[in-house]
Chains A and B, each alone.
Chain A
């Protein structure tokens, strides 16, 4: 009984200090997430991992597991909320999945499928955003950035370069690049950086890879995102 809590009425063990998401993952229970990846500092901004802890909404990626907690994850109401979140992220940017090279390996898209998003529901914002292709090996398409700040964290905490930051408030919040010109090409960014590998969507992409893996053969074409409960890693194949 010690160090145990429940998820959807199933007992789940945890190690003190673990978040609900980490404990769930260790137990093979899927809780959706976008801004969480195991190697990086917690963020808690996307809210996809919203669960009910003893009846109150909490973000599972930041909320610590505790003895006796009753956590609800897979309820119609929570799933509807998650669908709304995904829809919001879709309309906030410009996501033209059919032509996006991340399609099939993109967590946002995969969550759209997972939560049965049949339409964007909200009116598209169609923001005007740029593509930064100034770097020889890596491109950023800001149209698809969901502000998860994984690249920010990877660059700061792993690569020790602090190439990315988020600036601006509200809808004006955007990813910026630390370089004299604000362009990626003038930064110290390198294709081998961890930050080049962490983007859960098609915003940071390695150039000229494109559709080397055919659509249909991609990770989320084969298995839904909820099947990745235990790894939580970005799928290997792009």
Chain B
């Protein structure tokens, strides 16, 4: 990938040639800049992000967009499908969805959260957590976990599979389904499919609960470490419903500051532009959004599981709510900001999604056949927002009279989390860098921090959790003093 060097002295730095293979694979790259005293001055995570998509979609017919977007991001296609379709519901002129259509979409979304969180925790992160950050790289993967903790690994795989099956039943395919269309859904759920899922869901709820228990146990081994690793005090944002419970699929935007104080609440996501400002920086193609009212310095925020379980007032299902209370207790009433706390929050969410899915599978509407909403006049502009597994996802479109997209703006979860991730990596670097050398240990710790956020990098979800990563260390003069890479 491009070597986008430090701002201090970019002209003096040697550029690294692009390697086509690493571009395709999506190497993660971190540069650390030291100050005169060899302390960490600045840290930057460089990732290849899919800007340019907006340009691609302009001039295309609006009904193509929900399918096109999920194809362009292979990591959470369902999230893009849902966010884009929500926008297109409005553009196409549809009224409120039928109960069956909305419930099917929600079921799809919960299925996706279960599969994504399970993948993330069991396949990608549990090797670090269970086997140790510095355990042998060759064994630090799901295969290694399976050898050491066979039951756990099996549960992880099965839980993820359940999520995938939900997606397949609702969207038509495990990935890249087209079951969701503007105005509703194009396929009713059969009673048999519902029954199949219903018969498996209790077990999934049970396993999800055990997964939370596992994280809790891990934290108990070293609470201080878990609480403070990669800690970055941040504002937090997420969608909540009228009761103040998190709403993965819909709802109003709420933000709280690092101490839990209110910033804004129940704001219609369609007006996101009045709340958030997106900055462009000269060293990366990724945008940096922040809360306008607080300014660029203080306005950056966190999204995703760790933000969601802390901006809400309650979780809507009993088991998950009980777990949330335990979680809050770990912070003594204060919000938690450590990177590893993401895992705990994530497993609580997996439990929540499983419980919510169970509720829907018990709801007779889910096998209803009234799938499409009534259609009114077409509209010009819409914003579709959902809580993707990794955090808030915005899709904003304007469509011209000829039905072609005239404007498109996306803010993906990873973009929302951009600054927060950088801050966490900085915290890790400050704590674990000694001297002027990138050690294996430092590299591993940085990797663990990045992975906790679950950024939507293909490298972060690399097969068997092997994340190609390079860490470069520059001194105050801008000279490269150390480099280490893996993968």
Contacts and interface: CB of A to CB of B under 8 A. Distances in A.
A210 B404 contact: no
B372 to A, nearest CB: 9
Contacts of A133: 61, 402-404
Contacts of A96: 68
Interface stretch (B178-186, B331-339, B359-367, B435-443): B178-186
B455 to A, nearest CB: 24
Contact of A210 (B63, B71, B173): B63
A196 to B, nearest CB: 16
B32 interface: no
A101 B181 CA distance: 12
Interface in A13-44: none
B64 A210 contact: yes
A131 B59 contact: yes
10 contacts: A99-B71, A131-B61, A185-B402, A208-B63, A208-B403, A210-B61, A214-B172, A214-B177, A216-B178, A217-B172
A160 to B, nearest CB: 27
B331 to A, nearest CB: 44
A126 interface: no
A212 interface: yes
A131 B60 CA distance: 8
A187 B452 CA distance: 57
Given A98-B68, A100-B64, 18 more contacts: A98-B71, A99-B60, A131-B61, A139-B61, A207-B403, A209-B63, A210-B63, A210-B64, A210-B67, A211-B63, A211-B181, A214-B172, A214-B179, A215-B67, A215-B172, A215-B173, A216-B172, A216-B177
B172 to A, nearest CB: 5
Q: Which 10 A-B pairs have the closest CB atoms?
A: A210-B63, A99-B68, A133-B402, A98-B71, A211-B178, A215-B178, A214-B172, A214-B178, A216-B172, A133-B404
A214 B179 CA distance: 6
Contacts of B140: none
B182 A210 contact: yes
Contact of B64 (A99, A215, A216): A99
Interface of A: 96, 98-101, 131, 133-134, 139, 185, 207-217
Contacts of A215: 67, 172-173, 176-178
B408 to A, nearest CB: 14
B187 interface: yes
B92 interface: yes
A53 B66 CA distance: 48
B187 A214 contact: yes
Interface of B: 59-61, 63-64, 66-68, 71, 92, 172-173, 176-179, 181-182, 186-187, 402-404
Contacts of A139: 61, 403
A127 to B, nearest CB: 15
Contacts of B67: 98-99, 101, 210-211, 215
A134 to B, nearest CB: 6
A134 B178 contact: no
Contacts of B68: 96, 98-99
A101 B63 contact: yes
Contacts of A210: 61, 63-64, 67, 181-182
A215 B173 CA distance: 9
Contacts of B177: 214-216
A210 B71 CA distance: 15
Contacts of B403: 133, 139, 207-208
B134 to A, nearest CB: 41
B92 A211 contact: no
A14 B59 CA distance: 49
B404 to A, nearest CB: 5
Contacts of A212: 181, 186
B186 A214 contact: yes
Nearest to A130: B59
A211 B62 CA distance: 11
Nearest to A98: B71
B402 A134 contact: yes
Q: Which of A99, A101, A209 has the most CB of B within 10 A?
A: A99
A179 B67 CA distance: 32
A210 B59 CA distance: 16
A209 B182 CA distance: 10
B59 A101 contact: no
Nearest to A211: B178
B402 A216 contact: no
Nearest to B171: A214
Contacts of A211: 63, 66-67, 178, 181, 186
A217 B185 CA distance: 14
B395 to A, nearest CB: 15
Nearest to A97: B71
A213 B186 CA distance: 7
B81 to A, nearest CB: 10
A189 to B, nearest CB: 14
Contact of B404 (A99, A131, A209): A131
Contacts of B186: 211-214
B252 to A, nearest CB: 29
A18 B60 CA distance: 43
